[in-house]
Amino acid sequence: MEACGAVGKRIAMAIPVLLGVAIYLHKEDPSYLAVLYRIPGMGQLARFWAGGEEMWEKSPEGPPRAGRGRQWADGERGDGSLRDLLFAPEELAKYNGRKKRELYLAILGRVYDVSSARNYYGKGGFYEPFTGRDASRAFLTGDFSDGGLTDEVSGLTDEDYRALDEQADFYDSKYKYVGKVMGRYFDERGKMTAYGKQVERWIREAKAAEELQDARAFPPCHSEWKQGQPPRVWCDRRSGGIVRDWAGVPRKVDTPGGGTRCVCVRNTGTPTHRYAGADDRGDLE
């Protein structure tokens, strides 16, 4: 019995040392805490001793999973050492500025912290109906009824899917990414569901359709470069591989990222996008 007591004392003395070393080394490599996390009860003790759970957000193992509410899954962003928070829908619903001060919303299954824009997303704000839930479809329809505030987005037009993708990009660039909602887009391990992958396909197809439409309206020019001569560009009825009944004239247009390219612009007939007062000069206006 005395031997067992001596061993117990040694273990008790070793625990603070192990914790101290692990938390110190955590600054260099988060995986050290993951090792201690595997020891029963050590995770709770480490969080208590270190003064909170913030360090676990940088740990590959994260805090213990819960049966419901928030969980953790492998991150898809950054350097891979971060973990995504996983929200059950009922847990996300608490982040509406009432039960919890933070304001969270989700779009296409991804959760963002919009607390910095409380005037818009807080009580009385125009976008208040979006907080505490994934209401992806309502971003397009403006339907704030119970039936309209849904994350189901099937049956939309190509234009709608492109707009939805732009809306998701807006939140990704402007607000802090928090995690994912378990359900329609991501499963309980944070992996994308079959439905989520289908939505991604719809968005890709919508973008491809727009690119094809643009190519037909503004086909690339023919170009020729010869040493000692200025570059030459021209248009005909097959330039850019787009067969058509007009040739057009070369024009330089700006492209995303600050570049330029040569396109053939139709200079006769009805404009692609007619507006009041437009002449029949094709798309030159």
What is the phi-psi region of residue 277: left when phi exceeds 0, alpha when psi lies from -120 to 50, beta otherwise?
left
What DSSP state is assigned to residue 72? E
Instruction: Write down the pLDDT at residue 205.
Output: 96
The CA-atom distances, in angstroms, between 42 and each of 18, 20, 56, 63 are 10, 12, 13, 11
* pTM value > 0.85: no
Q: What is the pLDDT of residues 55-93, one digit of tens each?
A: 344 344 444 333 345 555 554 443 333 468 999 999 999
Q: What is the pLDDT of residues 216-240, one digit of tens each?
A: 888 999 999 888 888 899 999 998 8
Find tokens 């990222």 and name the residue: 257
Instruction: Write down the pLDDT at residue 56.
Output: 41
Q: Tell which wins on pLDDT, 175 or 1.
A: 175
Q: What is the mean pLDDT of the chain?
A: 78
Judging by beta carbons within 10 Å of its beta carbon (0-12, 13-18, 19+), is residue 255 exposed, middle or buried? exposed
Instruction: Write down the pLDDT at residue 118.
Output: 95
Closest by CA to 158, choosing from 120, 212, 114, 117, is: 212
Domain extents in the chain? 2-58, 71-206, 218-285
What DSSP state is assigned to residue 144? -
Domain 71-206 is found in CATH 3.40.50.2300: no
Closest by CA to 108, choosing from 185, 188, 17, 23, is: 185
Q: What is the pLDDT of residues 12-62, one digit of tens each?
A: 566 665 555 555 544 444 444 444 444 555 544 544 443 444 334 434 444
- Comparing 2-6, 174-178, 205-209, 268-272, the range with the smallest average pLDDT is 2-6
Instruction: Write down the pLDDT at residue 173.
Output: 96
